[in-house]
Each structure stands twice: as C-alpha cells, then as structure tokens.
C-alpha cells in the first residue's frame, strides 16, 4: 500500500515540478539572452526574448531587455512603444523610466526625455540616472539654467558623481557665448614663389538666432601686404532649415578681391543627412566670378562625411572643383580630426583668396589633415597641414608643390 501512496503523491506534485522546471529554463534562457545582447548578438537575444514571452508574457525583465535591444539597434519607435506598455503595467518601474529616457536621448527627442524623467522623479525624486538624463536633455535644448539646477540636485545627492562633474564642466563651456581666435596659414612652394602668410583675427558671438563672426585678414604675399574685413552669419531659420551669409571687403584691392559674398541654405532631412545649395561671388580687378556650390553631409555615430562641389561658369570656360572630407569627433563637436581630399581650387579656403580670377580655373590636387582640440578652461587650438599639387597660373604646362601649415589658438568666454 505504501508504494501506491508514493506514486499518488508524485502524480500530485508532478505539475509543480514541471512548472518549476519551465520557470528555471525561462530564467536560464533570459541569462543567455542578456549575454547575447551585451555581446552584440542582438538577433539571437531578440529571438530568445520572444521565446520566453510566449510562455511568460508578464516577464518584465525580458520585455525590458527586448526594448533595450530595440534602442541599441536604433529602432527607437519600437523601443518607446514597448517601454510605454511596461510603464502602463508597472508605473513605478525605475528601470523602465531609465530605459525610456535613454531611448529618447539617443533619438534626439529631448523634450520626451525630460517628460519621462520628470514622471519617474515623481515616483523617486532621488533617482540619479533620471536626473542625469534630464540634465543632458536640458543641455541639448540649451536650457542651461534648468540644467544647472538639475546638476545641483545631483551634486547634493552624490557629490562624487563623476558623470555629473563632467556635465558641469561641459555646461560651463557651453555657456560661453563669445570666442576670440587667432589663425595663421603659412605657405611654402617647391619653386617660383617665396613663402607667404595669411594671419586672421576673429571674434565670434553666439546669439539667439545663430552665430555671428567678425574677422580681419592680413596677407603678406608676393612682396605686398593686404587687409580684408569679413563677417559671417549662420541664421537658424526653422527646425530643419538654416543658412549661411558672408561678406568681405578689401579697400586696397591688391591681394584680396574688393568684394566677396556668400549665401547658402542648409536643409536637414534627418539626423543623418543634411544637404545645401548656395553661391559665392568675388569681385576681382579684371573680372568678377559667380560660383555655385552644393554639399551633402552624412552623420553616422562619431563620424561626419561631406562632399561638396563648386561650379564657376564663364563665357570662356567653366571651373569645376570637388572636395570630400571625413571627420572623426571625440568627446564633442568641438574636438575632432578631419581628412580632406580635393580636386580643383576652393573659394572657401582663405589661402586661395588671391586677387586674380584665373586661380579658380587651375588644376590641382589637395590633401589636408587638421586636428582641433578644446579644453574646459576655454582655450583651444588647431593644427593642420595641407599638401597641394598646383598648376602654375602663367604656365599651365608646369606644376608646383605647395605645403601649408595651419595653426590657430582660440579662447571662449
């Protein structure tokens, strides 16, 4: 009789053992999914999450991991939809609030990041991660006073928080609305020409409608000196549309064009693509030139790729130039290294601001490398080199080599 009783007891407990085993397998599969997700095998991790959720649709940690995978794969709308469902089921889930504010920041939806951070902070006012994300979003929206208050709260809660300290340093830099800079371009040639210099003094002011710059250029070339006065304006017209305006004047009209003018419109199609179109005009002693230009920017991660063309039509001939560059950003947009390759002569290059129009129809090949570094104390510098194979203006059968050293120092205040 004892054996039948034991058998009966086992039959009663078997469903409980089965449930426990299935639960154990779900937990094990979840750990595997985490390993795959953090190991960049996102597709397998996503499939494992779906497998678990078929049997355990309320397994919140699995749904959170799935949402994170969506964010990491830049499927931001899917991530937000899933995270909003989690928060509807668990309104006090801090991990979900952290995930949805991260997702909003990565998607450049800074208003959403602040909204969700504030909702989470109403549940837990001392949640450091949400406060940090709120401060980051406020800084992106240039709400510097609000960001100061948020960071002050973090400092009170956690005085040694390294992320907050970095953000405070970054905020100090961002609040600087003025910049004074000195630049020098020094050229040496393989033959014919003696060394030449272009020295620039520049003042920049960040305004509510966009940056404004004033600049004085002094050139020493071909045994002569010359001065040019310039002004740039980069207006923000709409959320997607911005502009560029430039005017330059040289009274002596020897080493610079008497008048120069530039205008361009930039349209942002997405956070990845920006395109532009515009004109450049130069009034030389013997002639004036109108150049048409267009560009395309592609942003991906910490890289910016740009292509730009210049077309200068005249009755006699048409000048054509093409330039491409790749830029690698470091801690922010003010610290980077840029490699530029070009065919032809660019009117954007101050080194080419010579007062004769034929220069812009010369054949040339250019390679340029530039490094820009800024510091939290407001100082920064740039260092660049440029190597050009240039057609001789008065003898187009000849070519010479031009080496340029580009140096600069600036101070933000």
Sign of CA dihedral 389, 393, 394, 396: positive
Whether pLDDT at 355 is above 50: no
Give residue 7's pLDDT.
47
Tens digit of each residue's pLDDT (9 = 90 or more) over 130-144: 999 999 999 999 899
Whether pLDDT at 18 is above 50: no
Sign of CA dihedral 173, 176, 182, 184: positive
C-alpha to C-alpha distance for 163 and 332, rounded to whole angstroms: 15
- What is the band of 362 on the pLDDT scale with cuts at 50, 70, 90? confident
- What is the band of 393 on the pLDDT scale with cuts at 50, 70, 90? confident
pLDDT > 90 fraction of the chain, expressed in percent and rounded? 73
Least confident of 23-37, 78-92, 317-331, 371-385: 23-37
Which of 29-33, 192-196, 304-308, 344-348 is most confident? 304-308
The torsion region of residue 299 among left (phi > 0), alpha (psi -120 to 50) and beta comes to beta
Give residue 285's pLDDT.
76
Give residue 4's pLDDT.
56
C-alpha to C-alpha distance for 353 and 413, rounded to whole angstroms: 30
HSE-CB at 326 with a 13 A cutoff on CA atoms is: 4
Give residue 330's pLDDT.
93
What is the arithmetic mean of pLDDT over 209-215?
Answer: 96
Domains and CATH numbers, the chain: 22-174 (1.25.40.10), 178-412 (2.40.160.60)
Give residue 317's pLDDT.
83
Sign of CA dihedral 182, 288, 354, 386: positive
- What is the band of 394 on the pLDDT scale with cuts at 50, 70, 90? confident
**Is the CB of residue 302 less than 8 Å from the CB of residue 329?**
yes
Give residue 314's pLDDT.
84
Give residue 221's pLDDT.
84
- What is the band of 11 on the pLDDT scale with cuts at 50, 70, 90? very low
Give residue 254's pLDDT.
77
Whether pLDDT at 15 is above 70: no
Least confident of 220-229, 357-366, 393-402: 357-366
pLDDT > 70 fraction of the chain, expressed in percent and rounded? 91
Give residue 301's pLDDT.
86
Residue 89's contacts (CB-CB under 8 Å, 6 or more residues apart) are 58, 60
How far CA 365 is from CA of 346, 384, 401, in Å, comes to: 11, 17, 10
Q: How many residues does the chain have?
A: 413
Whether pLDDT at 205 is above 80: yes
Whether pLDDT at 247 is above 90: yes
* Residue 290 φ/ψ, nearest 5 degrees: -120, 120
Give residue 368's pLDDT.
97
């Amino acid at each position: 009789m004892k054996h039948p009783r034991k058998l009966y007891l086992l039959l009663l407990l078997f469903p409980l053992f089965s449930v426990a085993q299935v639960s154990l397998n779900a937990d094990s599969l979840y750990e595997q999914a985490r390993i795959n997700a953090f190991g960049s095998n996102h597709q397998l991790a996503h499939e494992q999450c779906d497998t678990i959720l078929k049997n355990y649709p309320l397994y919140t940690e699995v749904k959170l991991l799935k949402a994170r995978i969506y964010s990491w794969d830049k499927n931001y709308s899917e991530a937000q939809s899933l995270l909003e469902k989690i928060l509807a089921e668990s309104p006090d889930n801090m991990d979900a609030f952290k995930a949805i504010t991260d997702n909003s920041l990565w998607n450049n939806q800074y208003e959403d990041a602040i909204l969700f951070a504030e909702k989470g902070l109403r549940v837990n006012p001392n949640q450091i991660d949400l406060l940090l994300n709120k401060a980051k979003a406020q800084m992106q929206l240039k709400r510097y006073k609000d960001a100061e208050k948020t960071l002050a709260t973090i400092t009170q809660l956690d005085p040694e928080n390294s992320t907050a300290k970095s953000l405070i340093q970054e905020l100090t830099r961002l609040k600087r609305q003025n910049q004074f800079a000195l630049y020098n371009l020094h050229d040496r040639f393989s033959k014919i020409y003696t060394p030449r210099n272009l020295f620039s003094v520049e003042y920049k002011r960040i305004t509510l409608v966009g940056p404004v710059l004033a600049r004085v250029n002094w050139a020493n070339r071909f045994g002569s000196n010359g001065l040019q006065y310039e002004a740039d304006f980069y207006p923000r017209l709409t959320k997607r549309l911005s502009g560029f305006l430039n005017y330059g004047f040289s009274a002596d009209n020897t080493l610079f064009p008497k008048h120069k003018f530039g205008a361009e419109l930039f349209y942002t199609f997405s956070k990845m693509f920006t395109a532009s179109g515009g004109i450049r005009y130069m009034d030389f002693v013997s002639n004036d030139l109108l150049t048409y230009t267009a560009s395309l920017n592609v942003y991906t991660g910490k890289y910016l790729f740009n292509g730009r063309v210049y077309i200068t039509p005249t009755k006699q001939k048409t000048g054509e130039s093409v330039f491409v560059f790749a830029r690698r950003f470091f801690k922010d947009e003010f610290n980077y290294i840029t490699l530029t390759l070009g065919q032809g002569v660019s009117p954007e290059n101050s080194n080419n601001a010579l007062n004769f129009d034929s220069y812009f129809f010369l054949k040339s090949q250019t390679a340029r490398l530039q490094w820009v570094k800024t510091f939290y104390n407001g100082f920064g510098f740039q260092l660049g080199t440029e190597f050009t194979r240039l057609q001789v203006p008065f003898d187009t059968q000849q070519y010479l080599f031009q080496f340029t050293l580009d140096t600069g120092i600036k101070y933000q205040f």
